Amino acid sequence: MCRWLSYVGDPVYLEKLVFEPRHSLVEQSLHAEQAKTPTNGDGFGIGWYDERPTPGLYREILPAWNDPNLRALAHHIRSGLFFAHVRASTGTHTSRTNCHPFAHSNYLFMHNGQIGDYPLVRRSLEGMIEDEFYEGRQGSTDSELIFCLMLTLGLKDDPHRAIRRTIEVVENEMKVRGATAPFRFTACLSNGKSVCAIRHASDDKPPSLYWRKRDDHVIVVSEPLDTETASWTAVAPNHTLHVEGDLVVTEDATLACH
């Protein structure tokens, strides 16, 4: 399983979270504590927003701990909304196009989890993606497929419905095709102004998800970045967490994003 973080708040250099904390994301790429596998070395990626409406993106197949370019970029890039992700593949090959985050227009998306028995449903789910978004698909992961389905199902117009419908479509197709492995979906999405994080699973084991608010920022993470355990709040299973640009945080049990 992958590890990721998102940040919303006063602009900071990416290294502040990616490298500096005791249990930073780079540390988690080597020694994750709440993941199925402790090592997440199948590539990494960062995505960030600045003065432009579309995000910057850097993805690489090297392990995060072994790429000097990541350290240099994180030292120089300053952003008030960014994503970072370290990957542990669930079956698809290691390539830049399979590394998270994924971007389309002003959106960023990243994911931890998997569509159970993905080969059984991949072809039928891909057939549901509109041409506009299928043509923009670069990799082969179930994560990018989910993102394309969200876009197809109206993410730009009604994110509430798109997230719910995507989960319903995936789980229904799994049932139709006889998939028995669970669908696990802890993900994060941004339009450049706010962040929506989702913690969901078709069984009782959704991947971990936490958040913490300070005066000038909110961080959403797969697992805490430090030992201040009381300062981190776990997102409940089958809930969404929404963080506005003004740092208002709401948690919703309906799998809807405001």
Query: Is residue 2 annotated as a catalytic residue, yes or no?
Result: yes
Question: How many residues would you count in the chain?
Answer: 258
Joined together, the tokens standing for residue 221 give 């993470």
CA distance 170 to 156: 19
| DSSP-assigned states of every residue in 22-77 | TT-HHHHHHH-SSSSSS---S-EEEEE--SSSSPEEEEESS-GGG-HHHHHHHHH-
Order the strands of the 239-243 sheet from edge to edge. Answer: 102-104, 107-114, 184-190, 195-201, 239-243, 249-252
Cα three-residue angle 26-31-36, rounded to 5 degrees: 115
Interatomic CA distance for residues 45 and 41, integer angstroms: 12
Q: Which of 155, 232, 230, 139 is nearest to 187 (CA)?
A: 155
At 7, give phi and psi (nearest 5°): -135, 135
Q: Which of 2, 99, 148, 196 is catalytic?
A: 2
Furthest C-alpha separation in the chain? 49
Q: Which helix (H) or strand (E) holds 101?
A: none
Gyration radius of the chain's alpha carbons? 17
Instruction: Work out whether the CA dihedral 244, 247, 56, 58 comes out positive or negative.
Output: negative
Catalytic residue numbers read: 2
